[in-house]
Amino acid sequence: MKRKYALGVLLLLACSVVSGGNILKEAKEAIKTGSNLEQTETKLLEAVKTEKNIYRRLDYYYYAALMNRKINDMENEKLYLKQSYDTVKFFNSIYAMFQHMERYDSIADSLSSEKKKRKYREKACDLLRSYQTNLLNGGKFYFMKNDFAKAYDFFDSYLLANEKDFFKKNGPLQDSLIWKVARWSTLCGYKLNEPQKVLSYSSLALQDTILRHFIYEYQAKAYLALGDTANWLATLKSGLMYDPDYSFFFASLTDYLNANHRYEQALSLTDTMLTIRSKSPFFWYARSLVLLNLQRYQECISSADSAIAYDSIYMYAYYNKGLAFCNLAVQMSDSAAAYIASDEYENLRQKSVAYYAQALRPMEIVRVLAPKDTLRWAQPLYRIYLNLNMGAQFARIEQILKTFKSNK
């Protein structure tokens, strides 16, 4: 029985060797003749799934890469002879080569012998070094066609190949090129709306000063999409310090702080930015908005005036100013109600009217600057005209409000 069992094992092993050998023989023949390349590659990739022998798995991936080299050579020859060639097949064969050799390298890296690891790495380098430029060109090709998924794959493969030192025999790559490719891959991830792909190389892309503020923006949006609030806020702050004039960072931060009623933090942030950009109407407007939320209306008006001083048609600053005066008028009116039976009542009521009068001009300017933004200026003007006894204007604004509501 033991002899029969041993004989069975030997026969099984023999069949396995023959089967593996047959596949590799078929692969060599396909490479030699240039026929059945894709079909034979498929057989190799199927065989590797069940292959236990690590060295045979290495052979399968290596020959799968060689088959794609043959495909690329054939298309390249057509190009050289000025014949019609398949551009997609030309670039995809290069990408497939790198994919197979990256798996090949990962398997080789699991070997215990450092000498063998180096041997297989050198073999990968020798095969791939000639295709460095065209791997990158493939990414550019798909990028220009707006096929961002394919472009990302090529750029990702290029950066991974560089990490694995597949290009070392061609000399070290310039940092500026690596940063550029990282920037392209980050943009692809953003276009694909895939946060993880955005973040894969965004830190590397930030090493490049070109369009760095966009990389910070894409990175922040990726963290937000993933629900990572801490990194989202940290990235917004980093982006703001890098480029105070790119409004996305500051607007996102202050919107978050205001929405969460963290007004003192928002005020501190605007004050910090005003030490950097003291003449920025945007930062002065933002300060007026925070002070409006804090009900510090006189300070709000002062900040709005500063914004208007640097931009005379800054509609939002006029709006904050007009709203602050309206709120002061309401405060005086509420105070007057408490003194209705005393001499102080008329004094407070007149102060309320005076505040409405001061709100009139900025709110009418809002109407001129944003005539279609009815919801913004119609209600405040309705209250102003009513309290100032401006009958004709009140009647017109009342009609505007009725028309607006009926059209909703």
Quote the CA–CA distance of 291 and 284 in Å, as a whole number.
11
SS3 336: helix
Q: For residue 269, is it within any domain?
A: yes
Q: For residue 209, is it within any domain?
A: no
Q: Which of 135, 153, 171 is the last residue of a domain?
A: 153
Greatest alpha-carbon pair distance for the chain in Å reads: 121
Q: How far is CA 182 from the centre of its chain?
A: 13
Quote the CA–CA distance of 233 and 221 in Å, as a whole number.
10
Quote the CA–CA distance of 309 and 112 in Å, as a whole number.
72
For residue 227, what are the CA distances in angstroms to 52, 144, 200, 203, 294?
42, 31, 17, 19, 29
Quote the CA–CA distance of 22 and 276 in Å, as a whole number.
72
Q: How many helices (H) and strands (E) does the chain have?
A: 19, 0
Taking the CB of residue 306, how many other CB atoms lie within 10 A of it? 20
Q: Per-residue confidence of the chain (408 residues) as pLDDT tens digits? A: 444 444 444 444 444 443 556 899 999 999 999 999 999 999 999 999 999 999 999 999 999 999 999 999 999 999 889 899 899 999 999 999 999 999 999 999 999 899 999 999 999 999 999 999 999 999 999 999 999 999 999 999 999 999 998 998 888 778 999 999 999 999 999 999 999 999 999 999 999 988 999 999 999 999 999 999 999 999 999 999 999 999 999 999 999 999 999 999 999 999 999 999 999 999 999 999 999 999 999 999 999 999 999 999 999 999 999 999 999 999 998 888 777 767 788 888 899 999 999 999 999 999 999 999 998 999 999 999 999 999 999 999 999 999 888 776
Instruction: For residues 268 and 143, state if they share a domain.
Output: no
Contact 287, 320 (CB under 8 A): no
Quote the CA–CA distance of 137 and 8 in Å, as a whole number.
53
Q: For residue 218, is it within any domain?
A: no
Q: Long-range pairs for 106-115 at CB < 8 Å and ≥24 separation?
A: 107/54, 107/57, 107/58, 107/61, 108/58, 110/54, 111/54
Quote the CA–CA distance of 264 and 253 in Å, as a whole number.
13
Give the domain range for residue 34: 20-153
- At residue 293, φ and ψ (nearest 5 deg) are -65, -30
Q: For residue 7, is it within any domain?
A: no
What is the reported pTM? 0.84
Enter the tokens of residue 209.
Answer: 């000063």
Tell me, what CATH number does 345's domain have? 1.25.40.10
Q: Which of 89, 124, 153 is the last residue of a domain?
A: 153
Instruction: For residues 259 and 149, state if they share a domain.
Output: no
Q: Which of 101, 119, 153 is the last residue of a domain?
A: 153
